[in-house]
Structure 1
Amino acid sequence: MATDFASEISELDRSLTSIEVVVDPEKKRAEIAELSERVAAPDLWDDPDNAQKVTSRLSALNSELDRVGSLRSRLDDLGVLVELAQEENDADTLAEAQKEMASLHGDIAALEVRTLLSGEYDERDAVVSIRAGAGGVDAADFAEMLLRMYLRWAERHGHAVKVLDTSYAEEAGLKSVTFEVSAPFAYGTLSVEGGTHRLVRISPFDNQGRRQTSFAAVEVIPLIESTDHIDVPEADIRVDVFRSSGPGGQSVNTTDSAVRITHLPTGLVVSMQDEKSQIQNRAAAMRVLQSRLLLLKKQEEDAKKKELAGDVKASWGDQMRSYVLNPYQMVKDLRTGYEVGNPDSVFDGELDGFIDAGIRWRKSAENAED
């Protein structure tokens, strides 16, 4: 069946035009001009925190305009390429145009989702925590499966990941794990993954081969930046040190390098053990604690919005996604209705469909509340 290039190019043009309306290039250029003047000022770095904020914002704006401008240029070039190929009845060039059009479809769709990430912290890096819930050893194994899933997703996109803390379960899997994902809009993108995940399968740990339902909780918070002001007085925290442990509870070092910080006013607890020294683990724990306090502050200031990380119970009645391996094969998001019939691909990091659907669902919910 011949491709209707004119119709598809027209559809791409409508999608890109709607993105341009949201991005508002003229407004962005005016802000870039104003920020460029501030960057050129000789006293900019007298205030390093403000200078970092200004230069980061300028870089982000330029990248956003470049991305939109590049897509517009590619779409214009595609129209010219198709016109020439059709005039000369050049099958090879038409095939090239078909390939470029498919690429543009994907890139424009991805940018369309990105324009929906407009939250205050959406541009930040993300700190993700996974905690085994109800289900015993199967839940701990499920937590480890989810960790691999997110690591594979990050690897597919070239995102840097740093594991901050790992607590192993006694028999298999993980009690909990915390890791940091460094990428533009990592928090806005991954925040829709927060909630309770449910696994249904024949348990590999049940010698009678019975079906088991288990749960794991995922929490996503934005990483604190140097320009954030979250004061944590020493009197408000209790710091405990202990030896790092590996699978099966085995000690992985001979010094008390792992650190647990308890924030007394809120009861928040953060543990770190994956750095080499107690000083490094304490610094990492404080960053995550400050990130959680930042999110708590945001939630208190803007109570009408849903909690960004959520009160995740990891049990029945609170699940947001089900992974079913038996008696049939399916992964389904209970909020968006998005589903796939190949759980193996999802556990191997193919999450973009779920994430995109989640971002669109969240934006629709926010618009409905306005």
Structure 2
Amino acid sequence: MASTDFPAEIRSLRNTFQTIEKVSDVERIRADIEMLSEEAGVPDLWDNPAAAQVVTSKLSHRQSELERLESIGSRIEDLEVLVELAADEGDADSLAEAEKELVSVRKALADLEVVTLLSGEYDSREAVVTIRSGAGGVDAADFAEMLLRMYLRWAEKRGYPTRVMDTSYAEEAGLKSATFEVNAPYAFGTLSVEAGTHRLVRISPFDNQGRRQTSFAAVEVIPLIEQNDSVEIPENEIKVDVFRSSGPGGQSVNTTDSAVRMTHIPTGIVVSMQNEKSQIQNRAAALRVLQSRLLLVRKEEQDAKKKALAGDVKASWGDQMRSYVLNPYQMVKDLRTEHEVGNTSAVLDGEIDDFINAGIRWRAEGRRA
């Protein structure tokens, strides 16, 4: 096996890193940190907890961006020193260590490069994700619950806080639908490529004849609204119904009519919330999600007008974007990017970064085209 050309590899890493630094605008990040630090230091900041949370969240994110960039820059410097020392001393163990670090830094740069592609209008927002079971009966409901776990595990591994806002349980097993927030900067830009129809093929555990079953679930991802978003909804455009929360027995939420179903009459958009303990909390959560959906509808209408003027009437997303095949073979494949993985258990346990990164690159290429 040919030995690694470390000087060439390190030059390649440096060139990629310099491009990322330029696109990321490091000086702008530092200026933002300085400005946000001043805002965070104002004595009466927490008199308005919601506004304070926005400031501290943005500051934390910008600091993390800078630390990540500086960390990779330092790793490239350290790698070059390690290679030079190992070569001077003929240290095979150190060269092997350098080989591993080279692979690791290359992967970190690739992940960082993907982040620079998140430049959409709402990409920097937190996200609200809704999963709905589709065709396939009880298997589809079970699949919806599998997807909910997959995304929650993905967020947990990344250290992203999540909050399940609504769960509607199916009669036999699984979920009719579930809605949750991912409270991390760029969660919307990152997860928006997961929106679409997901397909599961497996031997149904609910079929006593052990037949193979195909089922579907839909994933919707919308940006969470911020205080400065002007999404005013007149009261006469909203219909609110209250009902008793459903779910596994014994929950305190089942004892009162605290669940809320909010319907936006002009568009027909329906939002249900039941996981908070009071009707007031569920109503506030439902309104926030409804505003977020209307915000995205507004953007989609604007984009549609632009596409119509440009003469581009092609749909961006197919009805089925990813297949999870558990039988007769094991494979998860994204039908847009062609990225596929044979370890289905890892994917369903939240190992979906490679799918997300491939999706972000695919979307960026589509925008450039």
User: In the aligned structure 2, how far is the partner of 1:8 from the partner of 1:198?
Assistant: 40
1:133 aligns with 2:137: no
Equivalent residue number for residue 176 of structure 1: 177
- Which one is further off, 60-69 or 17-26? 60-69
What's the counterpart of residue 222 of structure 1? 223
Partner of 1:332: helix, strand, or coil? strand
SS of residue paired to 2:12: helix
Q: CA deviation at 1:271?
A: 0.5
Q: In 2, are the aligned partners of 1:53 and 1:227 still within 8 Å (CA)?
A: no
What is the Cα deviation at residue 30 of structure 1? 6.3
Alignment gaps of 5+ in structure 2 = 308-314
CA–CA distance in structure 1, aligned partners of residues 332 and 203 of structure 2: 16
Could you say which residue in structure 2 is the equivalent of 1:341? 342
TM-score, length-scaled by structure 2: 0.87
- 1:50 and 1:168 map into 2 onto residues whose CA distance is 35
User: CA RMSD, aligned part only?
Assistant: 3.1
Distance 1:10 1:105 in 2: 12
Change beyond 3 A, Cα 1:36–1:203:
closer
Query: Shift of the alpha carbon at 1:253?
Result: 1.9
Summarize the Cα distance change of 1:61–1:145 in structure 2 as closer, same or farther, 3 Å threshold: closer
Deviations along 1:10-30, one digit per CA (max 9) or x if unpaired, are: 222232122123223355556
Number of the residue aligned with 1:243 = 244
Cα drift, residue 106 of structure 1? 2.1
Q: What is the CA–CA distance in structure 2 between the aligned matches of 1:51 and 1:346, rounded to whole Å? A: 36
Count of residue correspondences: 360
Q: Does the 8 Å contact 2:117/2:361 carry over to 1? A: yes
Helix, strand or coil at the partner of 1:232 = coil
What is aligned with 1:256? 257
1:159 — aligned with what? 160
Q: Secondary structure of 2:281's partner?
A: helix
**Distance of aligned partners of 1:231 and 1:366 in 2 relative to their CA distance in 1, 3 Å threshold:** same
Relative to the length of structure 1, the TM-score reads: 0.87
Contact 1:245 1:251 in 2 (8 A): no
In the alignment, what sits opposite 1:212?
213
- Residue of structure 1 in register with 2:310 after alignment: none
Identical counterparts, % of pairs: 70
Q: Given the superposition, is the C-alpha separation of residues 166 and 249 from structure 1 closer, same or farther in structure 2, using an over 3 Å criterion? A: farther
For structure 1, which runs of at least 5 residues remain unmatched after alignment? none
CA distance 1:206–1:30, change in 2 (3 Å)? closer
Residue 199 of structure 1 corresponds to which residue in structure 2?
A: 200
Q: Give the superposition deviation at 1:92.
A: 4.1
CA distance in structure 2 between the partners assigned to 1:348 and 1:32 by the alignment: 35
Q: Is the 8 A contact 1:168 1:248 kept in 2?
A: no
The aligned residue for residue 321 of structure 2 is 320
Partner of 2:276: 275
- In structure 2, the residue matched to 1:100 is 101
Q: Secondary structure at the match of 1:204?
A: coil
Quickly say closer, same or farther: Cα 1:249–1:319, change in 2 above 3 A.
Answer: farther
AA aligned opposite 1:320 = M
Cα distance change of structure 1 residues 340 and 36 upon mapping to structure 2, 3 Å threshold: closer
Instruction: Tell me the distance in 2 between the aligned counterparts of 1:241 and 1:235.
Output: 17
Q: Could you say if the C-alpha distance between residues 208 and 53 of structure 1 is closer, same or farther in structure 2, counting changes exceeding 3 Å?
A: closer
Q: Does 1:84 align with 2:63?
A: no
Compute the displacement of 1:31 (Å): 6.5
Residue in structure 2 matched with residue 187 of structure 1 by the alignment = 188
Task: Judge conservation of contact 1:149–1:348 (CA < 8 Å) in 2.
Answer: yes
